[in-house]
Structure formats: structure tokens, C-alpha cells
């Protein structure tokens, strides 16, 4: 094992920060079987339920940037979906849809963006009743100029939780060191307090993601 600070995070369970990546696995598996048309879902042209996402970086690199943000929706009642028609018995993403949204730097350590709880249009897409949506996950990706060639940071939360605090070493390293680009070593607050000795905690910085109902 390499004697690299933060390596201990590899032994931790998958955090919600990586859950967003796992959501894409059914889609990747589908690519290996046959070509599938994307679901016909539409962005709501007149959303009425705004939410604000705020990212706060504490004691982090000066060159950190929020590169993108997204909101992942899931169909609340799968009765509106067509029957599963493949041997694997998998929907391959037809019960989910994601929308990207912009994040703007507010100051040296804070980024802010707006998304909508009703961002996907509820309608009868398959002739089986109206598909209604719920927000499953809201997340963002960050990177630094010096390390963006080999790693990035991923963070996410739910509307129910409202916020999530993640920690990563200032000696930024990818989760997997194989010469390819991978997410950075990162852990949640519980894992940080449990696994990082107090005298080493100053060697880490935090990323806080939070969502609140928007105003105006």
C-alpha cells in the first residue's frame, strides 16, 4: 500500500458523493447490449418550485472551481412506464432523468445555482397514465486547475437531508491511481471523524453542499 495521506478512505463504503455515479451504471450496461432510444422526457417549460443549491469550500485550494451541477429525478409511480421487455429484466434508466444547471461563483469559497423540483414535465409519455416525478439527488462536480487532468470532486445531497459535508485531503489524489481520471478520495463527516486522527484533520478541506427552497 502506498503511504499516501487519505489512502485510508479507499477502505470506506461508498458515500453519497459516489452514488450519483452508480446511478449511471444501468445506462452503461445498456450500451453493452443494444442501441436504445433515449426516453422521451421533456423539461418543464413553466416550473414553479425553485430550489437553491449552495456549495461552500472550506480551507480548500485557491483554484477550485465548480465545473457542473445536476438534478436527478425519478418517476414516483412506475405504473406509467411500459412493461420491461428485455431478458435482463432491467429498465435501463427509463425511470430516471437528469437535468444540468449552472453554478455561479458568489465569492472565493462559495458557488450557487438554481434548479426546480418540478423541472421535468409530468405528462402521459407512454399511453399508460401521467408520469409524475420526484427529485432523487442533487449534485455537483468540482475540480482544480492543477489536478483536473487526473481527478475531480463529486458531491451530492437529497432534498430530505438538505445538506452534506464531505472531506478530502489537501494532498489531492484520485480514488484509484491507475493513470486514468477518477474521483478524488473523499469521505462523509461520520467517516472523517471516525477514521482521521485529530492531529491530522488540518490536512483536509471540506466541501459542503446544501439545498433550500428558492425565493423570488
Do 92 and 38 contact (CB within 8 A), yes or no? no
Task: Round to whole Å and give the CA distance between 112 and 66.
Answer: 9
**Does some domain include residue 43?**
no
Answer positive or negative: Cα dihedral of 114, 115, 117, 122.
positive
**Does some domain include residue 38?**
no
**Does some domain include residue 61?**
yes
Length of the chain counted residue by residue: 216
pLDDT of residue 83: 85
**Domain housing 188:** 7-31+49-84+91-213
pLDDT of residue 33: 45
In order along the chain (216 residues), what is the average pLDDT of each group of 10 residues?
A: 40 46 45 62 97 97 94 94 79 85 95 98 95 97 93 95 95 88 92 96 97 89
**Does some domain include residue 116?**
yes
**Does some domain include residue 59?**
yes
**Does some domain include residue 39?**
no
Nearest to 67 by CA among 152, 137, 150: 152
Q: Which H or E element spans position 29?
A: helix 25-31
**Does some domain include residue 41?**
no
pLDDT of residue 153: 95
Instruction: Cite the beta strand spans of 34-125 per DSSP E.
Output: 50-58, 64-75, 96-101, 104-105, 110-116
Q: Which residue has the cell 486522527?
A: 197
Q: Give me the number of domains the chain comprises.
A: 1
**Does some domain include residue 56?**
yes
pLDDT of residue 35: 56
Amino acid at each position: 500500500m502506498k503511504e499516501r495521506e487519505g489512502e485510508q478512505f479507499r477502505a470506506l463504503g461508498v458515500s453519497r458523493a459516489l452514488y450519483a455515479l452508480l446511478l449511471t451504471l444501468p445506462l452503461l450496461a445498456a450500451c453493452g447490449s443494444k442501441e436504445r432510444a433515449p426516453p422521451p422526457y421533456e423539461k418543464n417549460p413553466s416550473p414553479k418550485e425553485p430550489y437553491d443549491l449552495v456549495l461552500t469550500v472550506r480551507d480548500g485550494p485557491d483554484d477550485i472551481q465548480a465545473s457542473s451541477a445536476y438534478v436527478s429525478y425519478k418517476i414516483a409511480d412506475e405504473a406509467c412506464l411500459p412493461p420491461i421487455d428485455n431478458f435482463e429484466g432491467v429498465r435501463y434508466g427509463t425511470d430516471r432523468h437528469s437535468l444540468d444547471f449552472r453554478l455561479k461563483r458568489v465569492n472565493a469559497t462559495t458557488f450557487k445555482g438554481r434548479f426546480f423540483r418540478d423541472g421535468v414535465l409530468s405528462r402521459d409519455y407512454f399511453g399508460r397514465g401521467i408520469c409524475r416525478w420526484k427529485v432523487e439527488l442533487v449534485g455537483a462536480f468540482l475540480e482544480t486547475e492543477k489536478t483536473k487532468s487526473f481527478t475531480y470532486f463529486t458531491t451530492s445531497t437529497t432534498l430530505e437531508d438538505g445538506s452534506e459535508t464531505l472531506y478530502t485531503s489537501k494532498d489531492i489524489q484520485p480514488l484509484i491511481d491507475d493513470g486514468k481520471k477518477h474521483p478524488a478520495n473523499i469521505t462523509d463527516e461520520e467517516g472523517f471523524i471516525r477514521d482521521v486522527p485529530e492531529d491530522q484533520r488540518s490536512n483536509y478541506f471540506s466541501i459542503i453542499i446544501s439545498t433550500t427552497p428558492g425565493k423570488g
